[in-house]
A and B are shown apart, each in its own frame.
Chain A
Amino acid sequence: MANAVNAPVIVQRSFLHGLAENTSAFALAGRVTTGAGGTLKISGRSIGGLAATLAKTASTLAATDIANFEADVTTSHKVIKHTVNNKMLTTEMGFEGAGVELANKVLVSLNKDYFDFLEGLFAAPHPRAGAGAFQVGVGMKYIDTGLAFLQGEAGAGTQDNMITSAFSEVALDAAIQLLNKYRDDRGVPLHLGTTGGLTLVVGPKNRKLAGEVTGSTLSGADMATNTLKPLIQNVVVWNWTTDEDDWFLIDANGSPVGTHIAAAPSVSINSSDDGLFTHFVAEYEAAPFKAPYEYGIIGSDVA
């Protein structure tokens, strides 16, 4: 029988079990950082280009341009409060159930914080939007077509981190090519994703096809070797809210998007003043973030 002494222990233990047993999808599909709450600073730099050869007779070397962009991410304190009549909590199972359920809801919240943020990236302003050097073009979104590199300088060009095709094997291959070809702001190809470690995020309607495309030994189109299989490390399925056709390819090794956790999920229980009710409070402090440099993510959106 649960009592005032052992109830918190039961709830906390089952809460931890619940956290351990549930999937933290957000951790598979982006970077996770931990640290102090308040404000996290994510910086990025545009440094030089390809290295220049320094002649033995040289006595000077011109400095290459360096620009710094820094994003401030402010964490939020998120809380789930549940109040239950004490009559409902007379058994250990009742407390255990409450702990597991709260753990599940906390993880759903953390996932939703991240994936809803991801879904918003098609319409979110790019941190480096603008017409100047080191910027990506006026009015550009974080995931867009025609993102500039070396803007206003010799060798300037544009590139896409957005593709406008429903999910298919060929579309995934095209997205991987975009990632492989992606250049930094100085125009240097980054060769992202060439050695694998990619995460594919799709909606439920594309779950089966995504599993087939990334898990089969042979390619569906021509029965040749499936070259996509070794590149995709994880497939994450997420219920998109505003467009079920969306899908993302994320370089898990160096993702520009992720979640900063300042306070890990925890749970506490307290009795109400009148002693008739029990308050369960699960809380965490976190925030999703996007780095000023978008290298490492490709999204598909058919607006």
Chain B
Amino acid sequence: MGGKDQDQGQEREQSGAFKLPSKAALKAAADRKTNRDARGDESRPGRVVGLDYAMWASAVVDLSSPEKNRTKIASHRRRLADKGYTLLEGEPVIDSFPLAEAWIKPRSEWLADREQRNAKIAEAQRRGYMSDTAMLKQKIDGPYGTHYA
């Protein structure tokens, strides 16, 4: 339906004509429904859609209002580069960020860096820059016994 109007450019847009999907496209859509639960809300604000988070950790630079935020964007990029992230090339989609870029590093490295931060806090506490509450642990009683966290 409407196939004969396909090559008529502007005229086609104004005619209200359309082209129904092919059988193959309908089959692919049905397969997607079968293979993936589309009923649940899968949105994960701040995450890169399709990135395997078991392997990678990401950080986001918001590129909204680039004219106004030029120096901020440059500063954020510099900070991420300093923290060992690499720009994710291509056109990644970042949930809830209409215009943004993603920087990534291997998750194993991210976990090590997080422990490094823990060490930094311990050192700051030892030197008296941070309160001795910075690494305060509490006794936790629960269904699996007692531990400190």
Q: Per-residue 0/1 for A168-182: is the Cβ within 8 Å of any B Cβ (1 yes, 0 no)?
A: 111101110110010
Q: Is B149 touching A123 in the complex (CB atoms < 8 A)?
A: no
Q: Is B142 touching A69 in the complex (CB atoms < 8 A)?
A: yes
Bound-complex Cα distance A164 to B143 (A): 32
Q: Is A117 touching B136 in the complex (CB atoms < 8 A)?
A: yes
Q: Is A303 touching B117 in the complex (CB atoms < 8 A)?
A: yes
Bound-complex Cα distance A134 to B140 (A): 14
Cβ of B14 under 8 Å from chain A: no
Q: Per-residue 0/1 for A103-136: is the Cβ within 8 Å of any B Cβ (1 yes, 0 no)?
A: 0000001001110110110111111111011110
Q: Per-residue 0/1 for B68-82: is the Cβ within 8 Å of any A Cβ (1 yes, 0 no)?
A: 110010001001100
Q: Is A164 touching B135 in the complex (CB atoms < 8 A)?
A: no
Bound-complex Cα distance A168 to B65 (A): 11
Cβ of A36 under 8 Å from chain B: no
Bound-complex Cα distance A284 to B109 (A): 41
With A116-B134, A168-B64, A302-B83 in contact, is A127–B140 under 8 Å at CB?
A: yes
Bound-complex Cα distance A15 to B22 (A): 80
The interface residues of chain A lying within 8 Å CB-to-CB of B117 are 122-123, 242-243, 303
Looking at A3-11, A70-78, A90-98, the stretch in contact with chain B turns out to be A70-78
Looking at A55-63, A262-270, A271-279, A288-296, the stretch in contact with chain B turns out to be A288-296
Look across to chain B and name the residue whose beta carbon is closest to the beta carbon of A72. Answer: B139
Bound-complex Cα distance A302 to B81 (A): 11
Min CB gap A193→B, angstroms: 13
The interface residues of chain B lying within 8 Å CB-to-CB of A124 are 135, 137, 149
Q: Is B64 touching A120 in the complex (CB atoms < 8 A)?
A: no
Cβ of A195 under 8 Å from chain B: no
Cβ of B45 under 8 Å from chain A: yes
Bound-complex Cα distance A146 to B110 (A): 14
Q: How many A-B residue pairs have CB under 8 A?
A: 170
Cβ of A67 under 8 Å from chain B: yes
Q: Is A170 touching B98 in the complex (CB atoms < 8 A)?
A: yes
The interface residues of chain B lying within 8 Å CB-to-CB of A168 are 62, 64, 69, 72
Q: Is A125 touching B143 in the complex (CB atoms < 8 A)?
A: no
Q: Is A123 touching B121 in the complex (CB atoms < 8 A)?
A: yes
With A70-B140, A171-B46, A287-B133 in contact, is A129–B120 under 8 Å at CB?
A: no
Q: Is B130 touching A174 in the complex (CB atoms < 8 A)?
A: no
> In this complex, which of B76, B125, B131 has the most chain A Cβ atoms within 10 angstroms of its Cβ?
B131
The interface residues of chain A lying within 8 Å CB-to-CB of B131 are 109, 112-113, 116-117
Q: Is B44 touching A160 in the complex (CB atoms < 8 A)?
A: yes
Q: Is B140 touching A174 in the complex (CB atoms < 8 A)?
A: no
Bound-complex Cα distance A76 to B134 (A): 13
From residue 63 to 113 of chain B, which have CB atoms closer than 8 A to chain A?
64-65, 68-69, 72, 76, 79-80, 83, 85, 95-98, 100, 110, 113
Look across to chain A and name the residue whose beta carbon is closest to the beta carbon of B136. Answer: A117
Bound-complex Cα distance A242 to B114 (A): 12
> In this complex, which of B83, B96, B142 has the most chain A Cβ atoms within 10 angstroms of its Cβ?
B142
Q: Is B65 touching A221 in the complex (CB atoms < 8 A)?
A: yes
Q: Per-residue 0/1 for B117-134: is the Cβ within 8 Å of any A Cβ (1 yes, 0 no)?
A: 110110011000111111
Min CB gap B37→A, angstroms: 11
The interface residues of chain B lying within 8 Å CB-to-CB of A68 are 141-143
Cβ of A250 under 8 Å from chain B: no
Look across to chain A and name the residue whose beta carbon is closest to the beta carbon of B84. Answer: A303
Cβ of B115 under 8 Å from chain A: yes
Known: A112-B131, A181-B41. 18 other contacts (CB 8 A): A69-B143, A116-B130, A116-B131, A117-B136, A119-B121, A120-B135, A129-B149, A135-B144, A160-B45, A164-B58, A165-B59, A166-B60, A166-B72, A170-B100, A171-B46, A178-B45, A243-B117, A290-B138
Q: Top 4 closest A-B pairs, CB basis?
A: A174-B45, A123-B118, A165-B60, A168-B62
What are 7 pairs between A and B in contact, CB < 8 Å? A119-B121, A123-B117, A132-B143, A164-B58, A166-B62, A221-B64, A303-B110
